[in-house]
A and B are shown apart, each in its own frame.
Chain A
């Protein structure tokens, strides 16, 4: 039965109008009108007649339904010219169809017949005169993604001749060869090994393939294998498991490599055995001597810290770059629900309380002609990712807080999609530390949530490679927040009843990675692949093991708790299946239909990976100081900067995120009288009974890395930390996550500057460590994504090395939190911190398109002293608004605070500390870190200045009751505009 449902004309259709406007804006096509029709394709089922279908699917007040009729009458849309219908390809998750199935089941109140199938489709009727075939094609490709969907078009003429869309689309997934294949590696030459890795998408290097070869050639290994009925050949199941476990994505090979680092600037060459151990972990080891709130760092799915006596909080940021390049919507939604699972799977299980995303795209104004074939336009990538973030967060009931949109031409080939989630968990659960994990031999391995399909096979290995035209379609998955929400609710219930022992999420590498990691706690695992529930038949055993189908968790359940666990799962309509057992033999044992198809020693799997040896080269760089032309129209410059896509208001986009569900928000994404100016980050109050708050902030300064990645990293950490301070955060309680997205840093013929990029990585780790240690900010978790290159039409587009620092801190009382907006005419405006005039890598440099010399540097000693005093002043209630200076420097920050207050300013550069003889443009737009603009009531002037004594600060001027936005120097006017005018420009971009 084909059911077509659409809104009655008198009620309009906001969705269709929004889509129409988007098409007109993004594609410039002269569309006149568009009607959207939701289509349900139902297989015949007893008792499911038209009347039942109407009850189940139709809103009888607002909608109409037509059955078995591909609607096209003029009543629907007068003068329509063609119709387009999109539907999912076989095997792609169709979330709405899953719900429809439940709805039919509920309504009929019975078990539905086997193989009963529902599909959905979206139909669009379009009125547009004289579109060319090419334009219709362009429109059609706007409406669907060929990787996951199909689309068809019928013209008015064809429809009148009787052409119709089908009543069912093919949905069966082609079955794989379910045989287990054996691969004799013993006789393979080096070239053969490389070929095997390539052919099977293993993404293993020659050295790694040799280690595999040696393992299977080991007589001791062979003797053990014999006992299990396995020969000296590797099975495809084993090769795939090794490849997933050893992928860059899972093993962080570059962060653990031995690097010979030649610094030509200092003339020294040093050997670094693992930048992870020597910088990242060392940072936290050092800081842990003075910060005592760390509970679980680096080894779990997220970093856990103590919030108060009874409660812990945890935080993780992941990237989902490669999938988002191919399918922006699916990539982003999967990124969100994926990192949510990291939180759910932390310790005994945590409840997600916020999402926070930093999304990096190519310039939205890039001309179409500059977009290589095989990738989507940045606007389209952004639109899909944005929608994925909306659905992923909103439907899960997790508020989106903080975060940013960044635009940089280097993200044109691959977007960077950083998805973060924070969670909360009781400090102790059933008498145990909630952050610890324990698994005993004999515990059952249980998989819960969705079923396994071919979606997301090779995701981990794929993301460890450069993107090209041949990138595998199967790497795409679409997350389903509702399936996951049901599972999360169930798991928290099961946690509080003590029904499981441990849990981890199924992300990259699927079961091979989740059960493989959990096996380390007990000393082994036995997996029965044929027990795993499948979405459809015809998956090869190795596919079952490595599939990254979404919404799944793996658990260890004690046998005595299994019946209660399974009963609760059934009650909550969450699928749960015993797929194996944890053992202590030191092996991963894999069975399929009763036969052993894999046996790998845990020692080999986890420690057998040969160490990479890499070279890093930091050349001698001379960065000359640059004198800048000061006779520019600086008002014009400020206005241009406010319209830069990265700086401009994203209010329209961010309003589409639910940022208030859970009712904890204290500082929202917006500030000010009209709630339309940006805040510096988020403050939430995670426990209703306590005033203690959490801050969430980010720092990222990728353009500074053009000069020196050391400073880029130092500034990123400072940016996140000073935003925390600006919100009123306690300088002694903040923890950071490091998240590196790099272009390939391994030097090779196709990558001649790999050693330089690796040197940038080394230096960024050094910069991060030095700054973290100086501020006593521990790193509690992190992530790296090392192949952010796209090779398209023979050209390589690589991202700028990008370090995102995400910070979660606390403040003792949310009632003391401050925001960025000026509050009242007459208040004094101060600038805090010294201005040193660096313009290299700044937004002003980007605007002028000239290199402008050295980039901003952090002076941690003076910064830390300033932060401590500012915290004191905020705690004492002396500060009415506080805004940190970042992108666009002093002028942009001042404009943002004024726009928030809808108030004017009269300011002067005369007392800006450090600005001395500096050019006006430099003083206004340089991005020296560790600075703030604050406003203070005149009555508090004395107290405030006393609190700040000893640190650099100066009065900029005062807030006025009109809209004049004036900055002078001496008696000369430097910049003159109106706040309302600046606001109009700021809000006019998106």
Chain B
């Protein structure tokens, strides 16, 4: 008998913050994380010393970790975690922080994902990404994530007969969602013809399949429901979280992620199922990984995501609102902030603080995260379900 996991009763998320993205920046990751903290406390009426815990995710703090950042920002937390899980960091930071709040190890935890992007940052990050990448991937064409996701996309398309039009449908809908977002990298509508005929990057991937690296930060606060109420902050509740690392190591090419291992546990903890989800934010540096998330989190069968996106409207006004701020494919990938963007957008939607379009009457939001192509596949997966405070 597996011990039943404790719920997150009484713990909430609030204060969604985004430091506007820019394609390149001469500022440091410290600056982006610090700006995010400043925005968190300003928007929630706190002073710096009220925040007594931190979860930090960043690729470009080097040579620092979260430790160096604490002195840089002049803060004295009693609880600190560094989450180096790239795109999976957001939901992992959330679940670490939520337990710390629940157990009283900290009172207010700031979860911050932020990175800078100098002209040479992206190249240097991928050139030294991991030992396996150095040894067995980067010397092969140095395509970075483009080549890794090209493999996954090629394999998936040939396994299931998925068409580029299917991925394109998703990208076009997401672009529609991004248009009212002022800091989105992509500002113009995208047509399916533009998607299909774009410049080839790494077959079968073309330009609009690939996320654009940029600088920026996303952040939120975790605290008790009582604390949020006393501060007068709008908040969302946490219904469930999961994480998994290096799932299905014997699959010769990645076709599913760790969500598929934990899906039953996930919805059991939440007490709701996929049909109850009103909006979904999926990690989307490349469309193929969104397809895997739709399948592995139970919205359709394996191999059916193409048909799923074709038969649903993914815009904020549609029947399956998906990546409602445009996702990374339209707003850009601000390094580790890409692991937090989904949570921040979901808090906004469930607390009526949206920057872009609002999903009407949304009660439950699902966030799914994915990170770290270590060798030939993404290693880290995580996810969370939130509900409106009144739900």
A and B bind? no
